[in-house]
Amino acid sequence: MIALVGLPGSGKSTVGRQLARRLQVPFFDSDHVIEQRQGYSIKEAFLRYGEDRFRDLEEVVLDELSQKPQAIISTGGGAILKAATRQRLRERGHVVYLNSTPEELYRRLRHDTNRPLLQVADPLSRLRDLYAVRDPLYREVAHFVIETGRPSVASLVNMILMQLELAGLVPSA
């Protein structure tokens, strides 16, 4: 199991789908699994129950998904806030942190209205705050850190595959 962690907009879902295709394993987006089970969007879950209840749902889903031996999992940006989730992800598989600067994320997300934590007056400031709190947690759980910057999705997938190959986790291409 390979789990991708990082702030909202860092590319976890997009890169995860391509990585799963390249490795020919199933792909799971934890947010999409939660939406399918609940019958409404993440944004709606935040509105109905608040972030704490959402994190509880997320923890249950990631506990289940992280037990799949051959899978790529895209986690929600705040999944690492729960210590139990960090521990399970790290122990059950290999965690890749897609590290993006708050400024880069703002450039990508400035017109996105579907991310509940960014629906504030100053989204860039919010991203900086999230980064300050979460970056140490992402680094704590990560086996690999990939600086996203501006490379293409294919380049990011290749960078991840190279790290996994060097670690002996996937066969050399």
Q: Could you tell me if residue 53 is inside a domain?
A: yes
Q: How far apart are CA 24 and CA 41, in angstroms?
A: 28
Structural domain that includes position 157: 2-166
**Averaged over 69-87, what is the pLDDT?**
95
Strand-pair partners of 4: 74, 96
For residue 171, tell me if it sits in a domain: no
Give the Cα separation of 21 and 158 in Å (integer): 12
pTM of this prediction?
Answer: 0.93
Query: Is residue 173 in some structural domain?
Result: no
Which one is predicted more confidently, 151 or 24?
Answer: 24
The pLDDT value given to residue 19? 97
pLDDT at residue number 119: 75
Q: Is the pLDDT of residue 122 over 80?
A: yes
Please state the φ and ψ torsions of residue 141, each to the nearest 5 degrees: -85, -20
Burial of 22 (0-12, 13-18, 19+ CB in 10 A): middle
Q: Report the pLDDT value the prediction gives residue 149, as an integer from 0 to 100.
A: 81
Q: Is residue 45 part of a domain?
A: yes
Separation between Cα atoms, residue 148 and residue 160, nearest integer Å? 11
pLDDT at 46 over 90: no
CA 95 to mean position of chain CA atoms: 10
Cβ proximity of 16 and 107 under 8 Å: no
Q: Can you give the pLDDT at residue 117?
A: 62
Burial of 141 (0-12, 13-18, 19+ CB in 10 A): buried
Overall number of domains in the chain: 1
Which stretches within the chain are classed as H helix? 12-23, 30-38, 42-65, 83-92, 102-109, 123-141, 153-166
Q: Is residue 33 part of a domain?
A: yes
Give the confidence band of 109 by pLDDT, cuts at 50, 70, 90: confident
In a domain, 91, yes or no: yes
pLDDT of 47: 85
**Percent with pLDDT over 90 in the chain:** 71
Residue 36 has pLDDT above 70, yes or no: yes
Q: CA 163, CA 4: separation in Å to the nearest integer?
A: 13
Least confident of 84-88, 111-115, 166-170: 111-115
Average pLDDT over residues 35-47: 89
- The CATH number covering residue 7 comes to 3.40.50.300
Q: What is the mean pLDDT of residues 33-49?
A: 89
Which is higher by pLDDT, 73 or 105? Answer: 73
